Amino acid sequence: MTVPPPRAADVPPLDVVTLGEVLGSLLATRVGPLDDATHFERRLAGSEVNTAIALARLGHRVGYLGIVGDDLFGKAARARFEAENVDTTMLATSRDAATGLQIKERVVGRDPLYVYYRQGSAGSKLAATPAVLAYLAAARHLHVTGIPLAISPTARQCAFKAVEAARDNGLPVSFDPNLRPVLWPDHKEMVDIVNALAIQCDWVLPGHREGTALTGSSEPEGIAQFYLSRGVRGVVIKLGSRGALLYTANAVWRCPPFVVDVVDTLGAGDAFAAGFISALIDGEQAQRALEKACAVGAIATTSDGDCDGMPTRAELADFMAAHHRTTSEQVLEGAVG
């Protein structure tokens, strides 16, 4: 495995660093069952990949920590990152393992079916080296998901070490559980390990179903209170077509959904995270971050690629201006128990 040299001292610090597994993606060219698909387009996938590209398009300096294979998908991923202005200083190349693969059906207006081929992938070789941890020190924000926790013991350790390093350096940390039960040996282990990392973070961003699986509560307030009572600064619960809720120790905010023509929902949660993080980096209030998160997530659903529909900063501003009546309905609901 090769690791590029550290960033030069005169390079501006990164706004955000994220880490995870890069996946090549084969998207069926026609709408229909995946079993019937015979032709595919090559794309790029991976939760943290999606968020990194979304943040870069929103004008932030973003770095990606990961490993790709010395293969077609790995080279394509590196080229795509560079085209999107995502820093690849710490994107390593493995000579011994291949880039993971996602095969995905093309849909209109619903969740797509997809399958993974990622066991033993290059991304699963991610480890907490001194160079990796040093890379985090100069950033302003760390974003982590539950994916590294599931793909290998070394990647799991890397995620925990990264959060520890971020906290030691005063970096805020956001965490999207991004549960993938199929990657875990059993449900309890998944819940225990994901929650162990979540409670070390500042912002936790579960989907409603994920929050229920992780906390045992089906009520958004119960999910939020589980994490707030353990020291998390804020909990954002994604409700899909019903918008989202933001809970802090003192208040609750609701953002109604943005109405769009949905094509493909995969990647919307990653886009949501990018919108939220972007607003925080810009110094906006948390409730405004919730609006931007919902807007970026909605825009992402209007494209059939996991990360292809991520908006630029100008596109996001135009979208929010056009939907001002929706965003103005956001209301302060009161304190959390």
The full DSSP string for 60-113 is: --EEEEEEEESSHHHHHHHHHHHHTTEE-TTEEEESSSPPEEEEEEE-SSBPPP
| 93 beta partners | 2, 68
For residue 307, the tally of other CB atoms under 10 A from its CB is 27
Does residue 270 have an active-site annotation? yes
List % helix, strand, coil for the chain (3-state, nearest 5).
40, 25, 35
The token pair that represents 122 in the structure block: 């290059």
For the chain, where are the alpha helices, taking DSSP H only?
Answer: 47-57, 72-83, 130-137, 147-151, 153-168, 187-198, 208-215, 220-228, 268-281, 286-300, 313-322, 324-327
| 18 beta partners | 64, 143
DSSP 184: S
> In 3D, which of 138, 202, 210, 196 has the Cα closest to residue 174?
202
Which entry of 87, 264, 270, 306 is annotated as an active-site residue? Answer: 270
d(CA 54, CA 62): 10
d(CA 102, CA 114): 7
Three-class DSSP category at 336:
coil
Catalytically annotated residues: 270
